[in-house]
Structure 1
């Protein structure tokens, strides 16, 4: 199964030590951070398809501002 990609935005108030724990947990769950945004505490996270995003939210829900699946966007003419 192919990995799924999500954009995870953390709250501005998230302490740096908790952000580091979050990033480490992504790896511990078999995922990876493929992009780190510079203006916000946001990351593109790839997770194995069998791992539901809620598994990542466990323990970090209070510091996560939003999670959305990273997919291609297009406009119709």
Structure 2
């Protein structure tokens, strides 16, 4: 599956209606939600190579707490 995955965390105070708009926006950008976290308002989102998560940040800046690329982490 070509593309990149990102972990997107929403602010805890985001109403459910805005969460639905956020999810719809991901689909409209040809992305997909591959995992939804249960303890926080967080999602693993996959986008095609041609699209970067900045587009999502531009559209939903007021509700997004953090976006980071989902990649392997190593410890020393």
Bigger Rg over Cα: 1
CA RMSD of the aligned region, Å? 1.2
Shift of 1:58: 1.9
3-state SS of the aligned residue for 1:19?
helix
| Separation of aligned partners in 1, 2:57 and 2:75 | 31
Q: Provide structure 2 residue ranges, at least 5 long, that are not aligned to the other structure.
A: none
Q: What residue is the counterpart of 1:74 in the other structure? A: 74
1:7-63 deviations in Å (ceiling 9; x for gaps): 000000111000000001101100000000000000000011110111111221011
Normalized against structure 1, the TM-score is what?
A: 0.92
Shift of 1:75: 2.0
Q: What residue is the counterpart of 1:54 in the other structure? A: 54
Q: What residue is the counterpart of 1:11 in the other structure? A: 11
The equivalences for 1:12-31 within 5 A come to: 12-31=12-31
The alignment covers a number of residue pairs equal to 76
Q: Provide structure 1 residue ranges, at least 5 long, that are not aligned to the other structure.
A: none
Normalized against structure 2, the TM-score is what?
A: 0.93
